[in-house]
Amino acid sequence: MTDHPSTGPAGKPTSYSRVTLSRIMTAVDVNLYGTVHGGVLMKFVDDVAGAAAARHSGGTAVTASIDEIVFSEPVRVGDLVHAHAQVNWTGHTSMEVGVRVIAERWDSAEDEPVRVATAYLVFVGVDVGGAPRPVRPVLPETLEDERRYREAEIRRAHRLARRRAIQAHRAG
């Protein structure tokens, strides 16, 4: 089992944080090439991740960083797009939120929905003054949740190692 905060009264299961946002993409969402702009999807991803972080932490949470966002298939005008988010990992004041974006093609409703994007973001719970505040631990419930928790730790370790390496490089 992954070494995550043990079950305690203050913890919340992963499923508690789950949020889905859905919308139909329109002509105002397109880029020069006629497909949906990546920035539109990034805003959508940030919104659903923010809602999951707010729900888990029981208050305001701000986006601190985006570790990764992958656009795996283009999205088109008319597609019905669903963004599913959950808190994968918690630190002291920060949370990793994973987001999966799925599209139902408007012109092939019989086909299986397509995974169009995947993202991992770090949110920090903040108080009314904007200062970081402690967040309750997330409690993985399933093997899949455990896997995501462990992978979030790997992403965090890489992020911190990269920062240290760049700082050392700059220090000469």
Ligand X SMILES: CCCCCCCCCCCCCCCC(=O)SCCNC(=O)CCNC(=O)[C@H](O)C(C)(C)COP(=O)(O)OP(=O)(O)OC[C@H]1O[C@@H](n2cnc3c(N)ncnc32)[C@H](O)[C@@H]1OP(=O)(O)O
Which residues are at the interface with ligand X (CB under 6 A)? 46-47, 50-51, 54-55, 62-65, 91-94, 122, 124, 126, 130, 132
> Which residue, 106 or 162, has its beta carbon nearer to ligand X?
162
Beta-carbon contacts of 104 under 8 Å, excluding residues fewer than 6 positions away, are: 79, 80, 81, 82, 113
Instruction: Give whole-number Cα distances, 17 to 24, 35, 138, in Å.
Output: 24, 31, 9
What does the block give as tokens for 31?
Answer: 């880029």
State in angstroms the smallest separation of the CB of 7 from ligand X.
19
Q: Residue 108 Cβ, how far from ligand X at the closest point, in Å?
A: 31
Q: Which is nearer to ligand X, 103 or 121 (CB)?
A: 121
Q: Rounded to the nearest whole angstrom, what is the least distance from the CB of residue 123 to ligand X in the complex? A: 7
Q: Record the tokens describing residue 74, joined without a space.
A: 């283009």
Which CB, 45 or 102, lies closer to ligand X? 45
What is the smallest separation between the CB atom of 16 and ligand X, expressed in angstroms? 10
Sign of torsion over alpha carbons 69, 72, 76, 80: negative
